[in-house]
Amino acid sequence: MEEITSKNFIHAFIEEDIAEGGRYAGQTVHTRFPPEPNGYLHIGHCKALIIDFGTAEKFGGLCNLRMDDTNPTKEDVEFVEAIKEDIHWLGFDWEDRFYYGSDYFEKDYEYAVELIKKGLAYVCELTPDEFKEFRGDLNTPAKSPWRDRPIEESLDLFARMRAGEFEDNKYTLRAKIDLASGNFNMRDPVIYRIRHMHHHRQGDKWCIYPMYDFAHPIQDALEGITHSLCSLEFENHRPLYNWVVENVSVPHHPRQIEFARLGIDHTVLSKRYLRALVEEGYVAGWDDPRMPTLCGMRRRGFTPASIRNFCERVGVAKSPNTIPLAFLDFCLREDLNESAARVMAVLKPIKLTITNYPEGQSETVEVENNPNRPEDGVRQITFSRNLWIEADDFLAEPIPKYKRLFPDGPECRLKGAYLIKCTGYNTDENGNITEVLATYDPDSRGGDPADGRKVKGATIHWVDAETAVDAEVRLYDNLFNAAEPDTSSMESLVKDLNPNSLEILTNCKVEASLKDAKAPASYQFMRLGYFCPDSKDCTAEHLVFNRCVSLKDSFKPQ
Ligand code: ATP
Ligand code: MG
């Protein structure tokens, strides 16, 4: 985790840029977050969000939200709304600066015409196959027989491309840069292509669409972005980004800075694959609590604080990094340990009868809501002769070192209530244990012996069978068994799925205080982990809890 301590190089660059004599001396730092609305945001996007919005915040600047809908495919209103909701949930706000990349199509077109007029762009008519053939290699420059097409001719053809005279791929508009460049992005890149496709916002107004590498710098420049922060795969595109802002008459010259994408083990962070998992039914939806999407994580019980904290500690690195999923759990556990109320729930119940407690009698005992927050006080829970305990807190035949209940075993503490001793058990005709029997010490109310004797057994949790509420509990494990899921094809990816990533327990018993539980809320089920009511399926009639994270910590910071 060396990144945690390393200096944030983006902030260092920006400090230089806004200092006296710097390229943006005296200007407001202005960034943007440009998601493509073709899926839901995932934890990788959070890193970008925190870099974009967080950097603006740090420098007292602004950050725009811009839907990158330059491509006329797959965008969907559902995704636009979900992206906005997720960003607000994380605690960031774009105020009134919400844009669509497609809003600049007219401007993109004008700047393309400007390039043609300057002799810096030409209409090329290589077919896609010829284009590949003439691409050249490191030792051979690319070729285009159309490079020296007269300006007037290119202007005319480009206007007719827009007017819809030609079929897809018949012509392209290419920037005239350098066919021999070692950077293939600079070998006269295509900046416009013909696509007779409907655009979700522009309708059928356009049949030519700008390429991202041309449209993106223009969008940034028109919005007055000073620092265009993006992930590392755009590093080789930076010369083209700069070429565009230098050669068209845009009002601002933003600077592109790249950072490494966030990778996390045991999951995939690519909308394409996440989408396929949803569409092919391997998960219950984008918000399935096993998904690394923000809506999935929210439903799983992640808090904005835990996610922001995670991203901040992972840091901003220039080199690619894969972070253990366990570290994400660690950040959540740390947050919930502070904030979550402690309650009692029994996931795999077995009946416990306190044989010397009078039938029909009941009392209340007090338990602390959160030992980390004494100000949260205590609550009353009922206690009676009939309780539920965890089935594995009893063994008919003890194993070595077993300190919980077994016949004639050690005295155990029922959390917050009394000391008990197991005296025996009952079975059904098949020999299955149906009931554990115990006696209690009436002088140990609260859980401590009156005479100060040492309690040798464990403290176990329980719920009162008279008042307990039934619940369904969903336990989650890693979505993928493989640390690095094989993304070479969907088929191989599916092979790496963990078939046991979801376990549903339907016969759970939770204390009565949870009968109105509703998301968002999180609880520590004592001895079991952190749980939250499921935001979709939990109702007063049918309680459903998700395990956010177990208590056990498998992450060891170095
Ligand atoms: P995906 O592969 O999931 O589709 P993308 O880059 O196509 O990702 P966009 O919607 O274009 O998704 O991403 C918006 C912003 O989020 C971009 O600036 C992109 O660089 C950034 N981003 C996406 N994934 C990650 C990641 N894993 N780590 C950091 N930043 C990311
Ligand atoms: Mg993208």
Rounded mean pLDDT for each run of 10 residues along the chain, 558 residues in total: 56 95 96 95 96 95 97 81 97 97 98 98 96 93 96 98 98 98 97 96 96 98 98 96 98 96 95 96 97 98 95 80 92 95 97 97 95 93 98 96 97 97 97 97 96 96 98 97 96 97 98 96 97 97 97 65
Which H helix or E strand runs over 463? strand 462-464
Residue nearest to atom 22 of ligand 1 (CA): 45
Ligand positioned closest to the Cα atom of 257: 1
Distance CA 124, CA 383 (A): 83
Distance CA 462, CA 517 (A): 19
Cα–ligand 1 centroid distance for 208 (angstroms): 25
Neighbour-count burial of 272, counting CB atoms closer than 10 A to its CB (0-12 exposed, 13-18 middle, 19+ buried): exposed
Distance CA 63, CA 225 (A): 8
Cα–ligand 1 centroid distance for 168 (angstroms): 28
Cα–ligand 2 centroid distance for 185 (angstroms): 17
pLDDT at 556: 59
Angle at 104 between CA 11 and CA 193, to 5 degrees: 105
Evaluated on CA atoms 435, 439, 442, 445, the torsion sign reads negative
Tokens of 500: 């046991």
- Ligand 1 atom with least separation from CA of 38: 10
- Ligand 1 atom with least separation from CA of 231: 20
Residues within a 6 A CB radius of ligand 1:
34-36, 44-45, 47-48, 68, 230-231, 261-262, 269-272
Ligand positioned closest to the Cα atom of 256: 1
- Ligand 1 atom with least separation from CA of 229: 18
Helix (H, G, I), strand (E, B) or coil at 480: strand
pLDDT at 2: 36
> Mind listing the domains of the chain with CATH numbers?
9-259 (3.40.50.620), 271-300+312-341+471-549 (2.40.240.10), 345-461 (2.40.240.10)
Identify residue 60 by its one-letter amino acid code: G
pLDDT at 4: 37
User: How far, in Å, are 38, 71, 150, 377, 452 from residue 187 at the CA level?
Assistant: 29, 22, 19, 69, 84
Tokens of 142: 């690319």
pLDDT at 6: 44
Q: Which of 316, 317, 313, 315 is nearest to 335 (CA)?
A: 313
Distance CA 361, CA 363 (A): 7
Cis status of the peptide bond prior to 533, with omega within 30 of 0: no
| Active-site option among 271, 298, 413, 547 | 271
In the 8-state DSSP scheme, what is residue 195?
-
pLDDT at 75: 60
Q: How many CB atoms lie within 10 A of CB 505?
A: 15
